Amino acid sequence: MSHEQIHQQIEHLREVLNSHNYKYYVLHKPEISDFEFDNLLKELNDLEAKYPEFDDPNSPTKRVGSDLTGEFTQVQHKYQMLSLANTYSDDEIKEFDARVVKGMGETPEYVCELKYDGTAIGLTYKNGRLAQAITRGDGIVGDDVTSNVRTIKTIPLVLHGNDFPAEFEIRGEIFMPRKVFDDINTLREEEGEVPFANPRNAAAGTLKLLDPTVVAQRKLDCFLYFILGENLPFNNHFDNLKKAKDWGFKIPDNNKLCKSVDEVLAFIKQWDNDRKKLPYDTDGVVIKVNSYQQQKVLGFTAKTPRWAIAFKYKAEQVTTQLLSVDFQVGRTGAITPVANLKPVKLAGSTVKRASLHNADQIELLDIRIGDSVQVEKGGEIIPKIVGVDKTQRTLFSTPLNFIANCPECSTPLVKPEGEAKHFCPNQVGCPPQIKGRIVHFISRKALNIDGLGEETIELLFAKGLIRDIADLYLLRKEQLLNLERFAEKSTDNAIKSIEESKVIPFPRVLYGIGIRYVGETTARKLALHFGTIEKIETATIEQLLEVEEVGDRIAQSIVEYFSNPITINLIDRLKLAGLQLKVDESLNQKISDKLNGLSLVISGTFSRISRDELKELIQKHGGKNVSSVSSSTSMLVAGDKIGPAKLEKAQKLGVRIVSEEEFFELIS
C-alpha cells in the first residue's frame, strides 16, 4: 500500500473501533465479539507503531472505552481506571511472564482470578462506610451511581471490624446472575418488551437506570477484586483481598496464588471447562503480579498496567451448513435476516438458527446458501454466523441477495440514510407490524391490558377478530368465549381490562400507538407540549422540533405517521371508543404564581420527585425551565450529586441555590 493508503486504513480502523466502542459501552448493544474487536485494535496498534507520523492522541489505542451517558453526575477517578491488555494464547502468557521477569530480574508470584462478564465499578469507603460508587467511564472520569449501588445487597454499606484504612477504594465487577437474567427476560417477553441480549448488557443497563427502586428489583450482584489506597494492611494483592473478605466484601473463592507461569497456565486450562458450571458469566482469567513493590517497579503504559494481563477464552464455535435464510419483519417494519442451519451442538444446546443482522453483514461475509459456516455463541440470545469456509464452496454457489420486497406484504423495502437495516414502509397493512403494534399497545408501559398476551393477539388476528388496536374495543364476551384458552373468568378479566384502559392518560396512549422512534419519554413530552392528539396530527416539522428531545428523525416520523388517511381513521375510532386523547387539565393546570417570571435550572437527583415531575411543578407554579446557568438564571434547584460545573457557575454569578426541601417550602 502507498503511504496515503496506509493513512486511510489507519483512519478507517479508528472510525470502526470508535463506533464499536460506543455500541458496547454506551448503547450496550455490541455487534462484534471481543475477539474480533481486539484483533482490529491490534491491527491498528501495529500500524501506529510502524508509522508514528500518523499518531493521534484520540486514537482508540490510547483510551479506555467509555460508558459515560450524561444522565449522572460525572466524577474524576482518584486513581485512573485503566483497562487490561488482552491475550488469547498460552504463548502470549509466556511472553508476558518473560517481560515481567526481565523487568524485575526475578520470578514473581502471580494471582489468578476469573474475569467476570459484567460492568466495572469503583467503590470508595470512608471510615468504614460506603461514600461513593463510580463507573469506569473513560478511565479518568466516571458516572456517580452511588444510589443504585446501595441497592445491591452483596455490597456492604458499613464494613465489619475496625482494621480497615480510614479511606480506600475497592474495585470490582457488577454482574447479573444467569437465573435472574432468565427470569427478567421471561417477564419482559410476557409484557411485550424486548428481552435483554445477555447478562452483561442487562447489568450495565440496570446500573444506569435513574430509578434505584427498579435497580433493586433486578437483583444485581458484585465481586470485588482490587484495592487501592494508603495504609493497606499488607504489601501484596492476595492477602489484602483475603482481609477485605473479613471486612464484609464478596471476594471470589476461586482466586489462586501461583508460583510460576506453568501454574498460571494450569489455572487457565482448568477454568476453561469449570466456568461453564458457574451461575454467572465469565469470559477469561486475569493474571496480576502479587507484590505491590514489584507492580510499582513494572509500572504502566499509557493505557494498561505492565504487571497484569487478561487471558480471554475464545467464544465457542462450531461449523455447520447454512440451509436457508428467513427474513423476519418486526413491529417497526425492520427486516432481520435469520439463518436456518443444519442442527449442531453449541455451548450445551442444539442450534438451528443464527442471526445475520443486516444486508451489510451478509455482504461482508459473502455468505451463500449451502456454505459451511462458523457459528459462535458469545452471550447473545441467538447465535451468530462469524465466518464462512469458502474452500468448501461449490462452483455453482451464487451470492445471497438481500430481498427487495417485504416477505409478508410484498411492499418494496426502504433503507433510510444512516441506518443499517431495511424497513417495510407498509405500517398499516403488513401483518407482523400490525400484530407487533397491538402487542406493544397492550403492554404494561402503554395501555396495560391484562389477559391478552402475544399468543392471544396472534389468535385474534388469525380469526379475523382484530385488524388494528381500535378493534380491541369492539371485542365482545361471546367472541372470546369461543376461543381456545378462554374460560368465563379469563374472558371477564380481559373485557374488564380493555374497558379500564380507557382511563389511561394521554401520554401513555400516545406511546402505545407505536409511532416509530417515539418512546415513552418523548410521548410524554409531546403530549404535554401540544395537549391534544389533533394538535400533534397537524403539527409541522418546525413545531415538532420545538419539543424537548424531538429531533429531525422523530419529527419526520410523526409527520409521516399522521399523513396517512388510515392512521387518521384509526385515531378517530379510538376517540369513539373513549380513549384519552388529550391531556387531563390537571396535568397542565397552573397551581400558583409563586415562580412567575423566574427562570430555574435543576441539577442532581431528587428523593421526593423525578426530574421530569419537578420540571412540571416549576411550570405549574409559573416558572420557566432553562437548561444552563447564566446571569439571567433566577434559581438553581440543587439535588444530590449536583453537577459541579453548574454549582460553581451559580456560586460565581451569585445565583440563588435552593435544596429540594427548600424548593417545596417555597411553593407550598
Residue 290's SS3 state is: coil
**Residues near 487 by Cβ (< 8 Å), separated by ≥ 6?**
none
Name every residue whose Cβ is closer than 8 Å to that of residue 576 and which is 6 or more positions away in sequence.
none
Nearest Cα to Cα of residue 286 among 229, 241, 318: 241
Q: Classify residue 525 by burial, with Cβ atoms within 10 Å: 0-12, 13-18, 19+.
A: middle
- Are 14 and 44 within 8 A, CB to CB? yes
Task: Please check whether residue 291 is in contact with residue 308, taking contact to mean a CB–CB distance below 8 angstroms.
Answer: no
Question: Which residues touch 455 (CB under 8 Å, ≥6 apart)?
Answer: none
H helix or E strand, kind and range, residue 496: helix 488-500
User: Helix/strand/coil (H, E, C) string of 217-282?
Assistant: HCCCEEEEEEEEECCCCCCEHHHHHHHHHHCCCCCCCCCEEECCHHHHHHHHHHHHHHHHHCCCCE
Nearest to 78 by CA among 155, 163, 167: 167
Cross-strand bridge partners of residue 75 = 142
Which residues are known catalytic residues?
115
The C-alpha cell at 228 is 487501592
Beta-carbon contacts of 443 under 8 Å, excluding residues fewer than 6 positions away, are 191, 192, 193, 512
Q: In Å, how far are 195, 397, 415, 550, 557 from 553, measured between CA atoms?
A: 25, 40, 14, 8, 6
Q: How far apart are CA 52 and CA 44, in angstroms?
A: 12
C-alpha distances (whole Å) from 606 to each of 143, 197, 248, 446 are 16, 31, 29, 25
Q: Is 628 helix (H, G, I), strand (E, B) or coil?
A: coil
CB 136 within 8 A of CB 145: no
